[in-house]
Structure 1
Amino acid sequence: MPRTFSPLPPLRWLTLALLLVLPVLPGRAATPATGTVTGRVQNVVTGQYLNNAQVTLSGTTHTAYTDKFGVFQMVGVPAGPAVLEVFYTDLDRARIPIQVPAGGTVEQAVNLTSVARYGRDAETVKLDAFVVASDRETDSQAIATNEQRFAPNLKNVMATDTLGDILGGSVGEFLKFLPGVTVENDWADVAGISVRGIGGAMTSITADGAPASNIWATPTRSVDVRSMALNDIARIELTKVPTPATPADSLAGSVNMVGKSAFERTGRQLRYSLNLVGNHENLTLQRTPHSNRDHNTFKILPGANLDFTWPVTKTFGLVIAGTNASIYNEQHFTRTYWSATGSGTNAAAASLRNPIMYQYYLLDGPRNIVRNTLSVKADWKATPHSVFSLGHVASRTDTWIGSLSMTLNAGTNGTPTPATGLPMLFDARSTRGATGRGTMTNSGTNQLGNQITDTTNLTFRFDDGRWRIESGISRSASEMKRRYGDAGFFYTANATNRNPIRISFQDIDEDKPGRIDLFDNSGTPLDWREIANFRGTTATAVQTRNVNEVHNGYVNVRRGFNFLPFPTALQLGASRRDQKLDTNMTSEAWTFQGPDGRSGTTAPLDPYIMRVYRNVDSHYGFRNIQWMSPSRAWEAYLANPLLYGKTEAQRVTEANYAVDNYERLDESVQAGYVQAEAQLFNHRLRVLGGVRFERTLDDGQGALTDNDAVWQRNPDGSFVRNAAGQRVRKPEAGAVNSYAQFLLTRKPRAVFSHRTYEGYYPSLHLTYNVTENFLARFGYASTYGRPNFTDIIPRIVATGADLDDDDPDPPTGRGTLTVRNPALKPWTADNYDFSAEFYTAHGGLLSAGLFRKDIQNFFGDSARFATPELLATMGLDPRYVGWNVITKFNAGDARISGVEVNIRQSLRGLGRWGSYFTLFANGTKLDLDGQPGASFTSFIPKSGNWGATFSSRRVTLTARWNYRGLDRRLPQAAFGPDGYEYFKERITLDMNGSYQLSRRFSVVASANNVLNEPQTLLRYGSETPAYARQYQEAEFGIQMALGLRGTF
């Protein structure tokens, strides 16, 4: 049986509580010959307290860095006169004389400015709202660049204000501009990310260090980012090589979203925006038709953002942020199917070099997404050296989709039926299907997805200059529901051609046929758009409820030492993460029977088609299609249950689906580490290294299938046989493939797995200051990536051969076991990174790097003959010795190597006009070398971003380009041995701008994918002709927003 899920045992709760309290107790006083220096560093113009400002005591080895509240501490400082040197990226260096009292503390406030950016009179600049507004993005990026500059390891940091307004506040839309990141699209949405060619399942995503749990319809390790909002996030950190203090299970990399703090500013600030968001295909203030629930809706929708920072007192503050984003977009798909094989008259001539365009698919799918988030965070400075922070983020995302599809299939059999009809003819530009061989399907689909996520995070930080203790506990819970019947519709309502037909495609180009003709067997033309030529077939509903819950706790203790000629520190830490995944999905199907329950093949479908969403343009030159309506069909079914009925086969299919998709996994990850730091050669070389230990425990529950349960057995376990030697079925098993058979052979959550694996993961990071502004970094880390949930939650399908236990093993085996393999080992990788970083005098960054990942234990599918040793490894019953085991095994190794370039630079050095412009660009080139089993579905060899910002006193304009190179996906055997599916390379342009109306108000506008660049799927091998390579093109329209932004 699986272990009981326990977020944190009471003993660990007690330990964490003690660690939270002990640091608050008074520490050792400074020795009489020394004193303490403390203070806060602030940008005097913006009022922002600065994190990671470098504070040095001139002429000594004493160096400190400010925390996120701008506070620094130096202990053991020699008493007497001294000079503080304070440096922060893109601000002027400050030198401040101080007097350090013996055995006492001196507190020094440090106000930094930039004469080049703000002028000499900082007080005057503070009153100039236009200068402050135009410099907001510059200030934000300076903060992020400074974080990256003084980080002990390789990381990319980007402030969320850097790129201007991101439409809808989408985290995913922002992440795609980070170096080395490519996004995983769920058509119009950014659903996940890939880092350096490795997918989201092996990328860690956290918020202030708390693991995120956001889940979507398919339960995977990938964190779904579509419900995350930017407005409570100050900056995003991308780490590609972890330190011992961070989890080692980030084989691809890790993303941490750093939230805003109440003590980052001196006073209250309210920032808000009100906007209208629309799509260029429906820019009207009137209600127009929508296919989800077949009614009129507004397509230009309001939204709002709120961000309130309030330092209530010097020791207590609040940050409150909220987002409401309502977005409508189009979804247009066109898909052409080519076949290299055919049969019958003329079609047999088809080949890889001469394929038939035999099927066309058209989809029209309007969609709405409504994202609501609310976050509240409280910071309490309990003592001069300790801060508690408690935050909660609630996110609610609703997605409404109405996808209407038409499939027209001319067939690949060239012989007409009847024989007196026309045979198939085809070439590169046309297909004339054979008489009677065509089919067509009219399918209406409606969906409602509800995504609910709640995250609570309590952290504690103590820092007195010698000791630094950080600890925290968090809980993140996410639920994904897909609803149909209770939302007022079927999932799908389907219809097919009423009579035999012939389909002809003419003027075929890479997107579509220019003309589609339809004929019955007599040669009479028919209109494929008219519902009169269809009959009802089936309707479906798929209910989903997936729950993912993550509990996390950690403590880090760091002690600085000064007994050596150079500064050193030792840090120890431990953590535990517990995760619970629970999936519950059902699928139902009905057969159309007509209003009287008997006329399904002849009943007209007019009552069940779209009545509002009609006479519309479905794109690609096709319009006025009479679409099936899932909501109209559902309403009619509720009023008359005879309309749709269930067959025995449908009941069995539904029951099997429910058992297969009712699963659970409990996972616990325990970790501990030791980490040492040293700064050598007068702080020019920084060394950080150590080792981390992680142990993973998995308990899973999945479906059992025992097809032998239908047979009667003798007391000795052998099969009961009749006179002919055939096995005898149990009476209660019913007919073959009946529901009675299902009750005997299928059991939900009846297979249990328990898996434990552990390892030590060392890492080393070197940072050398070649000059003050030129850094060279090297990083090495050992990491791992766990198998996906769907690979380790157990599921067994056992199909035995007709043998008794004493029969000899046949060459084909005693049966077949199709098994998920909970015994899969995780991927492991040795990661090497080198980068050179140059920080310019104007706050810019130019960096270039080389990296390599040596990866072991790839997964591959294979069939093996079951031995006792194999069954023991997989935790399977020894009675399956001699069976064929079809499962996933660790199969291969691979190496990813690459180069990465990142540039961001103001042109301020070119004079007045140059000061208005800031340029950025980054690019990543990857190379994959591996065994045949070493395949990636997220490996994109080339990716990059570039853009520019123009910023004057009143006007700010930003243009951002994103390049996603050719992306090879799954093999496509129909296109030859080297056939694959690809996402075509794509360049998109996003733009935004603002105009400052007054001291407090500005008008803002933004647009995504300004050129409406489509997403294109290709399918081809080396022999596929160019005209037959495009498989699908999808367009979503240009999303645009216009709004008012205010600051108080």
Structure 2
Amino acid sequence: MDLSALLPRLARALVLVALLGAPLAAAAPASATGTVAGRVLNVGTGQYLTNARVTVRGASATAFTDKDGSYRLAELPAGPATLEVFFTGLDPATAQVLVPAGGAVQQDFNLTSVARYGQQGDATVRLDAFVVAQQRETDAQAIATNEQRFAPNIKNVLSTDALGDVLGGSVGEFMKFLPGVTVESDLADVSGVSIRGIGGGMTAITNDGAPASNIWTTATRSVDVRSMALNDIARMEVSKVPTPANPADSLAGSINLVSKSAFERSGRQLRYSLNLIGNHENLDLRKTPHSHGDKLGYKIFPGASLDFTWPVTKRFGVVLAANHSRSFNEQHRTLQTWTSLVPPGSPTGTPLNYANPVLSSLAFLDGPRDLTRNTLSVKADWKVGDNGVLSVGHVASRTDTRIGSLTYTWTTGTNPAATVTGGRPLAWDNSRTLGATGRGGLNNNGTNQLINQITDTSNVGYRHDDGRWRVEAGVSRSASATKRRYFDAGFFLQASAIQRVPVRVSFLNLAPGAALPGRIEVFDNNDQPVDWNNPANLRGNTANNANLYNRSYTNQGFLNVRRTLGFLPVPAALQVGVLEKRLMLDSNLRNETWTFTGPDGVSGATAPIEPYLMQRYRNVDPGYGMPPIVWMSPSRAFRAYQLNPLLYQQTDAQRVSDRNSHIDNNENIRETVQAGYVQADTRLLSGRLRLLGGIRYERTLDRGIGGLVDTERVWQRNPDGSFVRNAAGQRLRRPEAGAAGSLAESLLVREYRASFTQKEYDGIYPSIHATFNATENLLVRAAWAQTYGRPNFADIIPRTVANTSALDPDEDDELRPGQFRGTLNIRNPALMPWSADNFDLSVERYTDGGGLLSAGVFLKELRDFFGAASRRATPELLAELGLPERYLDWNINTKFNSGDARITGAEVNFRQNLRALGRWGSYFTLFGNATKLKLKGNPGASFSSFIPTSGNWGFTFAARRVTFTARWNHRGLDKRLPQAAFGPNGYEYIEARTVLDVNGTYQLTRTLSFVASANNILNAPNRFLRYGDLTPTHARLYAEQEYGIQMAIGLRGSF
């Protein structure tokens, strides 16, 4: 049966249920029953509470409040009843009501916490303004903890106010403290996230359930988070195992950003902040040199944010949030290349000596960078009748990144022989590399980039809940674009210079783990010293661009209908829903390269480079104890090129390379996902056991377009299809193909967006979740779900490269053992998604003061990993890949579904105020979480971001006017991609790292506070290692990166 054909009919059925079912139910006889409705308010904060539990004493009837704090208990027996309200961290409350037969009664609740807010002698609550402000983080996290407590599945919820101020309002900086989550960084920026060791491409990020579309410079499923701001987000929910109502494609897990609601507050509130953001290396209020554009600029920038919540009437309200931040930071980096060689003088056939590598190259980078983030969000909520809410929202973000990376590279060469008679040969040991005469190299490379990222997200949602029927429907659109600009921004991407004469480079005083050698020496072929930092010893080399324009959007529509089943002897409900999501990604990248030919077009080897050097950005400390370097300037070189086009010219080979890169990197994919589900929910054992389960069907259709490369087209063919050959048996090229590597050949064998593919797959994904209240405050949860993870776009957008040689056989020739008719390098649109069985077990302990301690274990049984492989083309394989029969017996290089794996792990999470220890204990709140993972699988089951150990911990001290928070983030050793150059078991690793962030607040008045924050206050570097079983300790460091300490001071207020 084609289940996908049922989706339209199911959708129409659900609409009919929504439109007709609710009025019919409302019209049913109800003379013996009535309804109780109302709202639940925290009087300490003036905030209406979400997910407060309202129960009827002695009965099974239970309701939870919506975002606006409202609840509704329908079909209650007429007569007197006692209502009980519970919310984590607040004192319970009760009320006596008389339920009218066939009618409704209003009963509101005002909750408080005597322990936290205090009490007057007459038993009324004393709402001291300083105490209420001091409890801001506690109250915010209580909402999140309560949300987690009553969730039907295993999730972690963290309020965005729970950790104090986050510098710059960065969503990524906050996400790194979420339980089970590790972040992926792009130099100084948090760019993506990973849950339980599985990469960002299989971690879903949504905003109020709507999928986000934040594209960066590569075609990937990962959501780029650097443009997202915190101030319109109330809390984040991390779900480890989905329910049937949630997408099943979140194999790693999902993170939902919950926005603020206009009905959360009982009155208007404006919260704002003003700050200055800087870096500890550049705390100067005046303009100082910047490498981006080679100009003077400020390094300390003002920032501001606000969020305004306004319940205009009881039925209409708006939330307005805006954020502006601009931050500058240094990017100091070093890269060491260690090369394994055959020992000089060894006989032929001697293998590489992986135990004694040589430091053959060193790159030093000074990369000042600043990032500007602007966001604006508007949301309106309108109560349609007593039971419905219509919500409309839009979030716009604009992010500009300016980078001025400057790199100096020294190379020794790996050829051990000198280029001149009597020169020195290559020699090395653990403490030095002495390069061979004439084999070295110098490269002074200036880079400038301007990257503009734009994201717009809109959504419309409707929710109806009358206590019996709950209908949720919505549509959303998230569109983003990233543009990397050069010419129109006034510079090349890169302008480089190299040595004028042959040189010998030596690295001296090497030390294990050191980012740089103790000394670098350069000599010419006469063994005379060469000053590598003197521009007179360099000549112009090349300039290039990498213009990029990426676009993406994700459109989604959904409908969910839930009905309580009051005729059953136990509380139960049935929910069904449908969803359709459409995604598009378009990538357009073009690399262009020019050669420096001098002002007259012919003197490139001798022309001085002084006019193309940095003029403003001079005498600047580049870091790591290096002397100030005179750098090439891509902006000055570009301006000179505009005035004189003879300065840089393209060779024929560069024109061909430019065209080829444009075809290879110009791609598009469109994806349609359709889903439908059925979900049942019930409570047993007097409400202590909650069971939720069901099945979800999802269907995916991908249509991709990419470049086509068919090098077979260069050969002449006979009428029977065989190749035309000369007397030596070599194939003859077509005259119009030109020479190998020529532009004529490129025009013949490469086609722009001429490779097409279409792939469809579907599946049924069941899940079940159980929550048992062992006691009022002790919960035991268990869950099982089947999920899947789609291939990344870069693996399925079609790209075909067919290569044959002049001696390859014809289709009818007999093949020798191990011989192929040609080689085909392709992407594999036929890749099937990963699939997983997920098992989770956790225990959660909640304290009366709003604290939480949870621990859990989990297992993921993963199947159908992607692994690169070479296979001989058989008829079956060609059919699987959708290739014609002419590729029979070719060698096909691509990715296949080839591996299985198992991830086991344990997690712990806690947050607790020490109020039980007395007055001083009440000032402290401790928090932390840790994750331990273990991966087992065959060689094809590899991860590029699997971190076995990660965790966060910290404390908050809050004593009336003063609040101080310290947050530690630990990221364990991170095993990345294989590195064959380092021998057996060679891999790249990111070294374990612990980062400390701090922030403090001093309350100046009841509504105004002074705030200060610092990220990575110890300036812990990020270090990359590359090694195998035989790599010595001193040769393991590959790269080290330092970004400085980001700091901010300012004012925060509300009224």
TM beyond 0.5: yes
Instruction: Write out aligned runs for 1:1009-1020 (5 A).
Output: 1009-1020=1016-1027
Q: Using the TM superposition, give the Cα deviation of residue 520 of structure 1 relative to its aligned residue in structure 2, in angstroms.
A: 1.2
Q: Distance in 2 between matches of 1:296 and 1:346?
A: 56
Tell me, yes or no, if the aligned pair for 2:118 and 2:126 is still in contact at 8 Å. Answer: no
| 1:428 match | 430
Tell me, yes or no, if the aligned pair for 2:117 and 2:127 is still in contact at 8 Å. Answer: no
The answer as to 2:823 corresponding to 1:821 is: no
Q: Distance in 1 between matches of 2:823 and 2:414?
A: 34
Deviations 1:990-1039 (A, max 9, x none): 00011111121111110000000000001112222222211111000000
| 1:588 match | 592
Q: Distance in 1 between matches of 2:565 and 2:9?
A: 31
Q: Using the TM superposition, give the Cα deviation of residue 282 of structure 1 relative to its aligned residue in structure 2, in angstroms.
A: 0.2
| 2:50 match | 51
| 1:71 match | 70
Instruction: Write out aligned runs for 1:933-952 (5 A).
Output: 933-952=940-959
Q: Distance in 2 between matches of 1:334 and 1:33?
A: 78
Q: Aligned match of 1:737 in 714, 738, 741?
A: 741
SS at match of 1:949: strand
Tell me, yes or no, if the aligned pair for 2:620 and 2:628 is still in contact at 8 Å. Answer: yes
Tell me, yes or no, if the aligned pair for 1:42 and 1:49 is still in contact at 8 Å. Answer: yes
| 2:462 match | 460
Mark the CA change 1:204 to 1:19 in structure 2 (over 3 Å): closer, same or farther: farther
Mark the CA change 1:262 to 1:716 in structure 2 (over 3 Å): closer, same or farther: same
Q: Using the TM superposition, give the Cα deviation of residue 340 of structure 1 relative to its aligned residue in structure 2, in angstroms.
A: 2.4
Q: Using the TM superposition, give the Cα deviation of residue 411 of structure 1 relative to its aligned residue in structure 2, in angstroms.
A: 2.1
Q: Distance in 1 between matches of 2:1018 and 2:32?
A: 68
Deviations 1:880-909 (A, max 9, x none): 112111111000100000110001000011
The answer as to 2:297 corresponding to 1:291 is: no
Q: Aligned match of 1:1005 in 1003, 1006, 1012?
A: 1012
Query: Aligned AA for 1:804?
Result: D
Query: Aligned AA for 1:579?
Result: L
Instruction: Write out aligned runs for 1:2-81 (5 A).
Output: 27-28=26-27, 31-81=30-80
Tell me, yes or no, if the aligned pair for 1:871 and 1:881 is still in contact at 8 Å. Answer: yes
Mark the CA change 1:397 to 1:523 in structure 2 (over 3 Å): closer, same or farther: same
Instruction: Write out aligned runs for 1:836-851 (5 A).
Output: 836-851=843-858
| 2:4 match | none
| 1:640 match | 644
Tell me, yes or no, if the aligned pair for 1:305 and 1:321 is still in contact at 8 Å. Answer: yes
| 1:864 match | 871
Q: Distance in 2 between matches of 1:797 and 1:695?
A: 30
Q: Distance in 1 between matches of 2:728 and 2:1036?
A: 55
Mark the CA change 1:514 to 1:823 in structure 2 (over 3 Å): closer, same or farther: same
| 2:809 match | 803
| 1:391 match | 393
Q: Distance in 2 between matches of 1:263 and 1:76?
A: 26
| 1:534 match | 538
| 2:757 match | 753
| 2:688 match | 684
Q: Distance in 1 between matches of 2:65 and 2:29?
A: 20
Deviations 1:852-904 (A, max 9, x none): 00000001111111111111111111221121111110001000001100010
Q: Using the TM superposition, give the Cα deviation of residue 372 of structure 1 relative to its aligned residue in structure 2, in angstroms.
A: 0.4
Deviations 1:627-671 (A, max 9, x none): 111001000000000000001111111111000111111100100
Q: Distance in 1 between matches of 2:91 and 2:473?
A: 35
Q: Distance in 1 between matches of 2:520 and 2:800?
A: 46
Query: Aligned AA for 2:206?
Result: T
Tell me, yes or no, if the aligned pair for 2:810 and 2:821 is still in contact at 8 Å. Answer: no
| 1:922 match | 929
Q: Aligned match of 2:1045 in 1021, 1025, 1038?
A: 1038
Instruction: Write out aligned runs for 1:877-956 (5 A).
Output: 877-956=884-963
| 2:408 match | 406
Mark the CA change 1:1023 to 1:783 in structure 2 (over 3 Å): closer, same or farther: same
Q: Distance in 1 between matches of 2:496 and 2:665?
A: 24
Moved more, 560-569 or 394-403: 560-569
Q: Distance in 2 between matches of 1:166 and 1:969?
A: 29
Q: Distance in 1 between matches of 2:243 and 2:225?
A: 25
Q: Distance in 2 between matches of 1:430 and 1:823?
A: 50
Mark the CA change 1:20 to 1:238 in structure 2 (over 3 Å): closer, same or farther: same
Moved more, 451-460 or 117-126: 117-126
Tell me, yes or no, if the aligned pair for 1:345 and 1:424 is still in contact at 8 Å. Answer: no
Query: Aligned AA for 1:604?
Result: P
Deviations 1:468-524 (A, max 9, x none): 011110000010111111111101101111101111222222211111111111222
Q: Distance in 2 between matches of 1:614 and 1:441?
A: 18
Q: Distance in 2 between matches of 1:21 and 1:474?
A: 22
Moved more, 478-487 or 511-520: 511-520
| 1:318 match | 318
| 2:481 match | 479
Q: Distance in 2 between matches of 1:310 and 1:21?
A: 31
SS at match of 2:491: coil
| 2:182 match | 182
| 1:95 match | 94
Q: Using the TM superposition, give the Cα deviation of residue 727 of structure 1 relative to its aligned residue in structure 2, in angstroms.
A: 3.1
Q: Distance in 1 between matches of 2:643 and 2:15?
A: 60
Instruction: Write out aligned runs for 1:151-170 (5 A).
Output: 151-170=151-170
Tell me, yes or no, if the aligned pair for 1:667 and 1:696 is still in contact at 8 Å. Answer: yes
Tell me, yes or no, if the aligned pair for 1:346 and 1:424 is still in contact at 8 Å. Answer: no
Q: Aligned match of 2:362 in 360, 363, 370?
A: 360
Task: Kindly tell me the number of residue pairs found equivalent between the two proteins.
Answer: 1040
SS at match of 2:414: coil
Query: Aligned AA for 2:898?
Result: A
Deviations 1:17-55 (A, max 9, x none): 878866885833561111101110110111110011010
Query: Aligned AA for 2:968?
Result: W
| 2:261 match | 261
| 2:711 match | 707
Mark the CA change 1:434 to 1:724 in structure 2 (over 3 Å): closer, same or farther: closer
Tell me, yes or no, if the aligned pair for 1:20 and 1:460 is still in contact at 8 Å. Answer: no
SS at match of 1:719: coil
Mark the CA change 1:406 to 1:22 in structure 2 (over 3 Å): closer, same or farther: farther
Moved more, 1026-1035 or 322-331: 1026-1035
Q: Distance in 1 between matches of 2:428 and 2:638?
A: 41
Q: Distance in 1 between matches of 2:12 and 2:596?
A: 61
The gaps in structure 2 that reach 5 residues or longer are 1-6
Query: Aligned AA for 1:183?
Result: V
Q: Distance in 2 between matches of 1:730 and 1:487?
A: 43
The answer as to 2:308 corresponding to 1:308 is: yes
The answer as to 2:976 corresponding to 1:969 is: yes
SS at match of 2:620: coil
Q: Distance in 2 between matches of 1:977 and 1:724?
A: 42
Mark the CA change 1:210 to 1:87 in structure 2 (over 3 Å): closer, same or farther: same
Query: Aligned AA for 1:243?
Result: T
Query: Aligned AA for 2:73?
Result: M
Q: Aligned match of 2:523 in 519, 522, 542?
A: 519
Mark the CA change 1:46 to 1:153 in structure 2 (over 3 Å): closer, same or farther: same
The answer as to 2:993 corresponding to 1:958 is: no
Moved more, 725-734 or 217-226: 725-734
Amino-acid identity (%)? 62
Q: Using the TM superposition, give the Cα deviation of residue 427 of structure 1 relative to its aligned residue in structure 2, in angstroms.
A: 2.1
Query: Aligned AA for 1:485?
Result: F
Deviations 1:534-578 (A, max 9, x none): 111111000111111100011110000122221000000010100
Tell me, yes or no, if the aligned pair for 1:568 and 1:679 is still in contact at 8 Å. Answer: yes
| 1:494 match | 496
Q: Using the TM superposition, give the Cα deviation of residue 416 of structure 1 relative to its aligned residue in structure 2, in angstroms.
A: 2.4
Query: Aligned AA for 1:524?
Result: Q
Tell me, yes or no, if the aligned pair for 2:811 and 2:821 is still in contact at 8 Å. Answer: no
| 2:666 match | 662
Query: Aligned AA for 2:501?
Result: N
Q: Aligned match of 1:720 in 721, 724, 730?
A: 724
Moved more, 512-521 or 398-407: 512-521
SS at match of 2:621: coil
| 2:280 match | 280
Q: Using the TM superposition, give the Cα deviation of residue 320 of structure 1 relative to its aligned residue in structure 2, in angstroms.
A: 0.4
